[in-house]
Amino acid sequence: MPLRTLTPRYVSSLLALSLSLAAAGTESLRADIPPDLHPTMKYTAGWFGNSMNGVHPVMKNGVQIDTYYEYVQKDGNGLAVGPDGTCYVGSGWDETGRGLGFYKNGHDVGHCVGLSAVGPSLAVDDKYVYTCQNMPTPPGSPLDFTVVRWNQGWDAGPAPVQNPPIFHGYVGGLVAAKHKVYVGDPASNMVLVFDRDTFQLLQKFPVHAPWRMTIDNDGKLWVINRKESDPNKGSSYSSEDPNSTAQVTQYNTWTGQPTGKNIENMTGATAVAVTPDNTLLVAGPNSQVLEFNISGSQPVQSGALGVKGGVYSDPAGVMGPDRLFGLWGVGCDKAGNIYTLGRLPNADAGLDLRSFTPDGTKMNWQLYNVAFTGVCGVDPASDGLDVYTTATHFHLDPTKPPGQQAEWKGYTLSTAYDDGRFTQGWNAPMLRRLDGRLYMYLHPGDYIGIFRQGPAETFIPSGILDPTPPPLPTGGHAHDRDWPPQQPMRPGPPTHPVDTTPGPPMETNWMWRDENGDGKMQPSEIKVMTNGGDLFSYISGSWVDNKGDIWLCGDHTKIAHLPLQGFDAHQNPVYDWTKQILPKAPPELGDISRIQYDSDHDVMYLSGNPPNFKEITSGASFGPLLIRYDHWSTNPTVKWQIKVAQPASDCFFPAFSVAGDRVFFMQRFMSRIWVYSSIDGTFVGTITPTQKTGMSGWCDQSYGIQAFERKDGSYCVFAEDDYRPKVRFYYVPPQPQPSPPLPLPSLTNP
């Protein structure tokens, strides 16, 4: 199991072995992997999508006492900043247990041990860090939350509260000052004040829809009033929410009464803070941090940090120090440095933490993670160097050291469109050049999303295919149908076996194309999928080939082929479900789980279970058999079969990718890539993380590995790693295939 730390003795032994391997010319191998398993496999290892992943010594009094892997946690749902500039960042869930991480001067400086998730509100004073956690409640009941206290410092532990307060819904805001803790409770429309040590209730006063809060240098309380605040949906609000109408109001902390100072029309306001010179900061509106002089009878805006419109301003999606997005937190240290927390639209997707000088003209440092449970696709025209996650664009330079090989170039979403990436769990982009233009296809998930490249870095929604299971007998779909609201309905089945009257309307399978080119979904653009639209009861695999044709597999042995019909006037790919082709299932497989078609050579790769397969394996694996079929469209002929050991343990293989003369298998728990020849199916070697690229985690996704062959015969291989979230990047130079073939390594031993 991956660990956060290694003892100095163990690390020393690994480093010694690493040096010995380097001397032997195998410096690319992970230090604890015996070199005899893959003597000819040469590669360099790196990562991107996470600012940090390196090995760093833990020092005390000038002596190394431990070794620590720096990394940025999965997401950021709250920010509090200490006087010394330590940033305390909350997480809705972190795989490694970093529900509350500490960052300072661009480095990882600790976390609250054993805390995997916290609510969206945080506060800090000179002694404790405060946050909120949900309490156990019956299934289907609204969430209850309480305020918890934690000590500060490296590997901080809890400071338990006797009889902690319980709140029926999210805690809207927290702020700590002068041995008091102020708690905003949207459910009761109250602010409650507690003694920080005893948590005895000292005071409470009415505040409508209290959200984030701060206390100014005069001891007055400033509260964001979220007019549409829902205590049960507190963590789902973001600055992208067009309905997050808000105002900021000042309250007297002694009387609990409004002072009369307020800032109206703060739509999108998500966080507030105060600088040492008593300037009020309001984060969110226009993707900026607005600055207000609060010394007069009413606040007056005196400036703003960041360009208006943030990353969405022209040129759309281009990254830059002053181009903010998804603002969800703001803070200030005693020196006046300003800190901003941004997050990707899906709260599980990532965070962007930046530090700015007091005047806001220079970014001191930036930390980010934008790669949880995801991998990337490659722009074919870039020869493997321009890669895209679901929401970001990176440019690669394989010649640079690990961790420095990728530059974050773009943010490809835009609030101007009905973009499913704001709500859907897509994580495996497929980039295709069709008719000279770049398109992004997103899968797996409830839908297949289609996007065309738009202005600058943005991608515009072009279409959606909903091939997922047909409506259930009880009504509704087998997946979450909250999105999109424009989805079509059809009459439901009779509610009684004798009565033939149609039941309540139900969702149905459908396709959407952006026929008017505005990137928004109009009901008239959505077409119900008839004539085989309910072909599948489940989808196990999907693929888009280099011609733009869509391939689906599922329902044990079903395969569907949707040829690209051309493009409309707005450059949207056109598909017609009534023109689907249903190839005959090959007899070698009784259950097809993954599909990948090479349209350039008419070669199909299918994986799954052979007929009458009885062994117990993980349902998330790609199956114990991978088969290459030549001449697929005319006379499918088995070229080779690879039998894959798929244990029921966590060491199974969830994903594979074919590129050029190689097939890459991703082994989940070992974070090891097994490499085979796509010519004859023989084993070539393995690829693993190196000592320099840090401790690895695992791959969860069915398409969690993507490989690309470059013009010179080298390969860029990208693998999901969701333990300490990042995209693993391996550069594999051209090299001969070993002869004779290598023996297979152990499944469970390194």
pLDDT over 90 (residue 472): no
Per-residue pLDDT averaged across 464-476, rounded?
61
The DSSP secondary structure of 692-740, one letter per residue, reads GG-------STT-EEEEE-TTS-EEEEEEETTTTEEEEEEE---PPPSS
Residue 498's Cβ-count burial label (10 Å; 0-12, 13-18, 19+) is exposed
User: CA 569 to CA 517: how far, in whole Å?
Assistant: 8
SS3 (DSSP) at 256: coil
Measured at the alpha carbon of residue 440, what is the angle toward residues 437 and 441, in degrees to the nearest 5?
130
pLDDT band at 69 (very low <50, low <70, confident <90, very high): confident
pLDDT band at 153 (very low <50, low <70, confident <90, very high): confident
Q: Which residue has better confidence, 145 or 35?
A: 145
Q: Which residues contact 474 (CB under 8 A, 6 or more apart)?
A: none
What's the pTM value of the predicted model, to 2 decimals?
0.89
pLDDT band at 480 (very low <50, low <70, confident <90, very high): very low
Instruction: Give the pLDDT of residue 17.
Output: 25
User: CA 388 to CA 381: how far, in whole Å?
Assistant: 13
Q: Would you say 735 and 18 are in contact if contact means Cβ atoms under 8 Å apart?
A: no
User: CA 376 to CA 730: how far, in whole Å?
Assistant: 13
Q: For 220-234, how does the pLDDT look when each residue is reduced to its tens digit (9 = 90+)?
A: 999 999 865 444 444
Beta pairing partners, 387: 378, 394
Q: For 535-546, how does the pLDDT look when each residue is reduced to its tens digit (9 = 90+)?
A: 787 888 999 999
Per-residue pLDDT averaged across 646-661, rounded?
89
User: CA 174 to CA 121: how far, in whole Å?
Assistant: 6
pLDDT over 90 (residue 27): no
SS3 (DSSP) at 322: coil
pLDDT over 90 (residue 182): yes
Beta pairing partners, 390: none
Per-residue pLDDT averaged across 497-517, rounded?
70
Residue 410's Cβ-count burial label (10 Å; 0-12, 13-18, 19+) is buried
Hey, which CATH number is domain 73-369, 3.40.430.10, 2.60.40.10, 2.120.10.30, 1.10.490.10?
2.120.10.30
Per-residue pLDDT averaged across 467-492, rounded?
56
SS3 (DSSP) at 362: coil
Per-residue pLDDT averaged across 551-570, rounded?
95
Fold of 383-470+509-732: Methylamine Dehydrogenase; Chain H (2.130.10)
Q: Would you say 568 and 448 are in contact if contact means Cβ atoms under 8 Å apart?
A: no
Record the tokens describing residue 506, joined without a space. Answer: 């139900």
pLDDT over 80 (residue 190): yes
Q: For 390-418, how does the pLDDT look when each residue is reduced to its tens digit (9 = 90+)?
A: 999 999 999 998 889 999 999 999 888 99
pLDDT over 50 (residue 338): yes
Instruction: Give the pLDDT of residue 487.
Output: 73
- Phi and psi angles of residue 281, each rounded to the nearest 5 degrees, phi first: -110, 130
User: CA 507 to CA 435: how far, in whole Å?
Assistant: 34
User: CA 689 to CA 694: how far, in whole Å?
Assistant: 7
Q: Which residue has better confidence, 51 or 693?
A: 51
Instruction: Give the pLDDT of residue 217.
Output: 97
pLDDT over 90 (residue 367): yes
pLDDT band at 188 (very low <50, low <70, confident <90, very high): very high
Q: Which residue has better confidence, 251 or 187?
A: 251
Instruction: Give the pLDDT of residue 239.
Output: 37
Percentage of the chain beyond pLDDT 70 is 85
Structural domain spans, the chain = 73-369, 383-470+509-732
- Phi and psi angles of residue 423, each rounded to the nearest 5 degrees, phi first: -130, -25
